[in-house]
Chains A and B, each alone.
Chain A
Amino acid sequence: MAITITINGKPRAFDVPAEMPLLWLLRDVAQMTGTKFGCAAGLCGACSVLVDGERAFSCQTPAGDAAGKSVTTIEGLAEQPLGKALTTAWDETDVVQCGYCQPGQIVAAAALLKANPRPDDAAIDAGMSGNICRCGTYPRIRAAIKRAAAINAGGKA
């Protein structure tokens, strides 16, 4: 069955079972490896993407559910103004360590900033606690989100 999904602005057709999680469709079929596999159980957030602008765990999203929808992965987000604000803030805050969780963190942060352009610490805790970082970059992620919020608001960080 062909499933058409708009990925990073381009409609693409995939001949995959409807129940295949979007995670594997992206990584193995579309060969877009920016979206990471961490747990495949909705527990870590490494696989986060935006589906119609909302954060989704791609490991918990059947491809069929994404049919006809717009999926933004880290590769696409990094090209958008909000993604640019986030990646710039990440660079300036020197956030990453192993970096494996970071595409998922940035996607989650994008969803957070869309809903709440000036999140306080409590909002960051609530918005980001679905994402695990084993390297412990949380303090810098927190700082980077605040910086990105400032950049995104057009001000200086």
Chain B
Amino acid sequence: MDLTLNASRREMLAGSALLGGALLVPLTACAATGSPGKGGLAANTWLAVTPDGKIALALPKTEMGQGILTAITMIAAEELAVAPEAVQVTIAEGDAARFAPLSQGTGGSTSIREVWQPLREAAAKARAALLQAAATQWKAPVADCVAHDGAVLHKPSGKVLTFAALVPVAAAAPLPKDAPLLSPTEFKVLGKAQRRLDGAAKARGTAEYGIDVIVPGMKFAAIAECPIFGGKLAGLDEAAAKAVPGVDAVIRDDDALMIVAGNTWAARQALIAADPKWDAPPAAKGAQQAAIVGTVAAGLNQPGTVAINADPKVALPAATRTITAEYHQSFLAHATMEPSNCVAQVKDGACEIWTGSQIPSDAREAAAKALGFPLEKVTFHNRLMGGGFGRRLEPDMVVRAVGLARRVPWPVKLTWAREQDMTHDFFRPAYADRFTVGVDAAGRPVSWTHKIAGSSIMARLMGPAFKGVDEDVVDGLNAPLYDGFPRTVTFQQVESSVPTGWWRGVGPLRTAFAVECMVDELANAANIDPIGYRLQLTSDPRARAVLEAVRKQSGWDDKRTPNSGLGVAVIHNWDTYMAAVADVSVGADRQIRINRVTVAVDCGQVVNPSGIRAQIDSGVIFGGSAALWGEITIAGGAVEQSNFHDYRVMRMAECPVIETMIIDSHEKPGGMGEPPCAVIGPALANALHALTGKRVRSLPLQKGFEALA
């Protein structure tokens, strides 16, 4: 583990000296490129057995709290028969070539799903190479040798050779082409609760986040970005800014003002003194919350682009009744606990960057492009993140910081104030969903039309290649849990001046809320128990199992206690099945309170059960905050919220009891970061309906409830 302060210098060490003579293992997926065995870890290898017998692993994904560092280490440790604590993990620098064709991006609950197979295969090869080296030395059959605790054991004789003793031999021999993987019955590490490897340093304040980086000679900067989207810096009192003691430089961008000083506080004081004035673009007047939400809703009246076409071959009886409903979801900020920040230095035609990014490879490329530097002149030191949730998929803070750093002679740490961070996010889009569902006499769907309108993040990222359907927005709708009836899904892109970006739960976050509330409405209309109704509509055994599990654990069939409403939701996304039952009550002050949340998950092969439980707590609380209270509103083209007093998030006293059941499975591992965040919103809305009889169809729920009440 090397995550503590001043990791940069040791990172360099790990790249060179330490790996001389190491057994380097290319990942299967990467074997076609680079030249493993030469050039150390930089030669697109991220797993090595070093001459001292230690396992060195460069983390190909990024750690933002989701526990991937621990999970990935466990996967390598398992195949190599060492304790996870014995693996030396470093957070890799941003470098697309090194990890290609795997993405260095972390999001969409992809990490384990992408890394699982190639990493196991690579680690198994390393083990096979070490076993072979030992067998050769002992002139014994390989079958008599086993890896155990950093050494190879000759079973018949009890002789032992350490990995350190075997590395020179193993490294000189050609790597085995393939090696058998351990079977799940042999797992000693995977599936057992593993304490996080980064926990101790984080709890003691010694872990290094991007915002903690200090490089010699560094100055501190504060920033005011134009509060109005698309606006420009019109003027400032530069003399007043410079009069603040400790101020070194006043730097203007078209749309932002930055002050460089001896400390962040002086820079922040100078920003206040500078009193920047802004020019609003003409469109700002019309950029009001009601108008934006209205335009999104009006998108539902457009034909949209067909994402899924009803299968004409499915012939069902005509509907006896049509049920329609429309759902609305708010803009959301990420509000990561660590505000946006970036340390950068531009010197002699080269640039060094230190910050936490969910896609360090892309952030590096964005910096090179902004500077006009060749890629190899830009070094991106990735750091631990104080939360990502999709915010750190965007490189805007990096581009801004390198633009600042090129104009000053010092390395500089640029830190966004919370108010700046919250008002200059890439927000979860506001969406509208409309369903028109025909049902038969038994209340079962026979036709299903789902229209979606809202911003398209994919359109922004894809440019001209975008063809009208945002694949993220409709993610999951192609393989719906509820089947056996024809469905049509359309998407209508509607943009405003509000920049939009990915947010934890991504497309299925929106889909889950809309679909799982709609299915609840259908169950209510048919007068069928909501869990029973879902069981009627899905034949998928894994979906049924998680539904049955929460039914039992939540006391669903027991007599309800006063002022308690139970609501259910189930999803299948990111190769994971998850069901949740939320228990809510409403106080005399009409405040919704979450009492208890019961979650059942089948995410395939379990890597770290402690991590899974942590992610469920996390998603329920993060997603629950958003569903109850989360809303960014716009006035005059600017965000109205600024800090935690007006962007409410859950606190200790509001936190429900959360119970998690993990279904035993050896299916391929599924994602865990996103699902609980997506499943909780509809469970809450459905519980509120069960309790009050009021169907709140707009998020946030507290506001929607008050509007109905």
A interface residues with partner B (beta carbon < 8 Å): 16-17, 20-21, 24-25, 27-29, 31, 33-41, 43-44, 46, 73-75, 78, 87, 90-92, 94-103, 106, 124-126, 128-129, 131-142
Contacts and interface: CB of A to CB of B under 8 A. Distances in A.
B652 A142 contact: yes
A43 B220 CA distance: 23
Which of A46, A134, A137 counts the most B-chain CB atoms under 10 A from its CB? A134
24 contacts: A20-B263, A24-B265, A29-B263, A33-B214, A37-B339, A91-B195, A95-B199, A96-B199, A97-B67, A98-B338, A99-B207, A99-B386, A100-B209, A100-B338, A128-B651, A129-B653, A131-B651, A131-B652, A134-B335, A135-B65, A135-B337, A135-B618, A136-B622, A136-B655
Most B Cβ at <10 Å: residue of A28, A36, A46: A28
Interface string B360-388: 00000000000000000000000011111
A99 B203 contact: yes
A112 B74 CA distance: 36
Given A131-B652, A137-B618, A38 B206 contact: no
Interface stretch (B7-15, B37-45, B565-573, B641-649): B641-649
Contact of B203 (A28, A36, A91): A91
A75 B652 contact: no
Given A37-B415, A129-B652, A98 B64 contact: yes
Contacts of B645: 41, 43
Contacts of A142: 652, 655
Contact of B264 (A24, A101, A125, A139): A24
A20 B387 CA distance: 27
A35 to B, nearest CB: 7
B559 interface: no
B621 interface: yes
Given A17-B245, A43-B643, A101-B386, 4 more contacts: A78-B203, A95-B199, A132-B337, A138-B650
Given A97-B67, A136-B619, A39 B644 contact: yes
B652 A128 contact: yes
A134 B333 CA distance: 12
A131 B620 CA distance: 18
Nearest to B193: A94
Contacts of B337: 36, 38, 44, 46, 98, 100-101, 132-135
B614 interface: yes
Interface majority SS (helix, strand, loop, mixed), chain A: loop
Nearest to A136: B621
A134 B336 contact: yes
A78 B4 CA distance: 15
B206 A140 contact: no
> Which 3 pairs between the two chains have the least Cβ-Cβ distance?
A34-B205, A98-B65, A100-B386
Chain B at the A interface: mostly helix, strand, loop or mixed? loop
B204 interface: yes
B703 interface: no
A36 B644 contact: no
A17 B614 CA distance: 43
Contacts of A102: 202-203
A41 B212 contact: no
A136 B193 CA distance: 19
Contacts of B619: 136
A78 B652 contact: no
Contacts of A95: 199, 203
Contacts of A92: 195
Contacts of A74: 204-205
Interface string B606-629: 000010001001111110000000
A46 B644 CA distance: 12
A29 to B, nearest CB: 6
A96 B206 CA distance: 13
A65 to B, nearest CB: 15
B200 interface: yes
B622 A135 contact: yes
Contacts of A27: 264
B418 A138 contact: no
A85 B265 CA distance: 34
A51 to B, nearest CB: 17
Nearest to B209: A100
A131 B655 CA distance: 13
Nearest to A142: B652
A41 B418 contact: yes
Contacts of A126: 653
